[in-house]
């Protein structure tokens, strides 16, 4: 059974489903693992005060806030967790990094390669993490270990399919995920980013890629399906599909 670690004060910016998922993660990790740090749920920041109050009550956030610019400057905060729509990742993460905070940022990191490069530059010298949580799924972590121990032979083919069914469901209310201005891309950033990270994690760098974006839903301005072919540096080839 785990021992309590040193406290680590968290400020989360975002009160949606990822705000909830991260709250759960902070609460549950010390229940099951011996972690060097114990998260302290210091402040949750968003724009909907009633929702913030509910989040604070259910998950035990000590304070609420509505101005992320003030939050990222607070001396009593160790970690800034960026769990907002994609287009806001860069300004918040860069400000937090410049304030010397540890930065946890949701995926996709940025809405363009240029923006991502600026974030990486700003993060120079601070600890950072992108929430590619699949790396900690036991089956994937175990596969990684088998690969590192050389217990899996030469890879020939890599296949990744991330299939969800709601992308084209007209009965779902539109949200920021299908709004190009807020999301930058659709399934490409939302789902394929996980598949790509897992591929890099397990099968190493990609040397060549060919991809196809597709939008099924009429009038939607982001992709709701993406296919890709890749040649990996280790000599294997792969297919990717997310929808």
**Interface residue list for its own copies (CB under 8 A):** 1-4, 20, 24, 27, 30-31, 51, 54-55, 57-59, 156-157, 159, 168, 208, 210-212, 214, 216, 225, 227-229, 231, 235, 237-239, 241, 243
* Cβ-Cβ contacts under 8 Å for 226 (sequence gap 6 or more): 187, 188, 192, 211, 212, 213, 214, 240, 241, 242, 243
CB of 165 to its own copies, least distance (A): 10
Backbone phi and psi for residue 74, each to the nearest 5 degrees, phi listed first: -60, 135
Measured from the CB atom, the residue of 118 and 231 that comes closer to its own copies is 231
Measured from the CB atom, the residue of 124 and 210 that comes closer to its own copies is 210
CB of 82 to its own copies, least distance (A): 21
Backbone phi and psi for residue 51, each to the nearest 5 degrees, phi listed first: -65, -40
Structural tokens at position 82? 């960026």
* Cβ-Cβ contacts under 8 Å for 115 (sequence gap 6 or more): 90
> Is it true that the peptide bond before 102 is cis, omega within 30 degrees of 0?
no
CB of 27 to its own copies, least distance (A): 8
Kindly give the interhelix angle for 89-98 and 113-122, rounded to the nearest 10 degrees. 10
CB of 243 to its own copies, least distance (A): 6
> Exposed, middle or buried: residue 199 (CB in 10 Å: 0-12, 13-18, 19+)?
buried
CB of 33 to its own copies, least distance (A): 11
CB of 90 to its own copies, least distance (A): 28
Measured from the CB atom, the residue of 27 and 127 that comes closer to its own copies is 27
Measured from the CB atom, the residue of 84 and 110 that comes closer to its own copies is 84
Measured from the CB atom, the residue of 127 and 156 that comes closer to its own copies is 156
CA-nearest of 82, 75, 129 to 99 is 75
Whose tokens are 């083919």? That residue is 157
Measured from the CB atom, the residue of 197 and 241 that comes closer to its own copies is 241
């Amino acid at each position: 059974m785990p021992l309590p670690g040193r406290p680590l004060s968290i400020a989360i910016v975002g009160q949606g489903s990822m705000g909830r998922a991260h709250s759960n993660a902070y609460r549950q990790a010390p229940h099951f693992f011996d972690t060097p740090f114990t998260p302290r749920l210091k402040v949750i920041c968003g724009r909907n005060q009633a929702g913030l109050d509910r989040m604070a009550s259910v998950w035990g956030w000590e304070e609420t806030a509505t101005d992320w610019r003030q939050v990222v400057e607070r001396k009593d905060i160790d970690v800034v967790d960026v769990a907002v729509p994609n287009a806001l990742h860069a300004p918040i993460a860069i400000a937090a990094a410049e304030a010397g905070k540890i930065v946890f940022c949701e995926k996709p990191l940025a809405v363009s390669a240029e923006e991502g490069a600026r974030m990486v530059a700003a993060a120079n010298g601070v600890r950072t993490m992108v929430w590619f949580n699949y790396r900690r799924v036991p089956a994937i972590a175990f596969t990684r270990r088998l690969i590192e121990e050389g217990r899996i032979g030469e890879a020939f083919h890599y296949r990744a399919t991330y299939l969800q069914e709601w992308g084209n469901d007209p009965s779902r209310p539109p949200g920021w995920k299908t709004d190009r201005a807020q999301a930058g891309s659709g399934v490409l950033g939302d789902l394929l980013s996980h598949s790509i990270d897992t591929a890099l994690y397990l099968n190493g760098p990609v040397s060549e890629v060919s991809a196809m974006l597709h939008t099924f839903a009429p009038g939607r301005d982001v992709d709701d399906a993406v296919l890709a072919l890749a040649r990996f540096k280790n000599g294997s080839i792969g297919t990717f599909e997310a929808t």
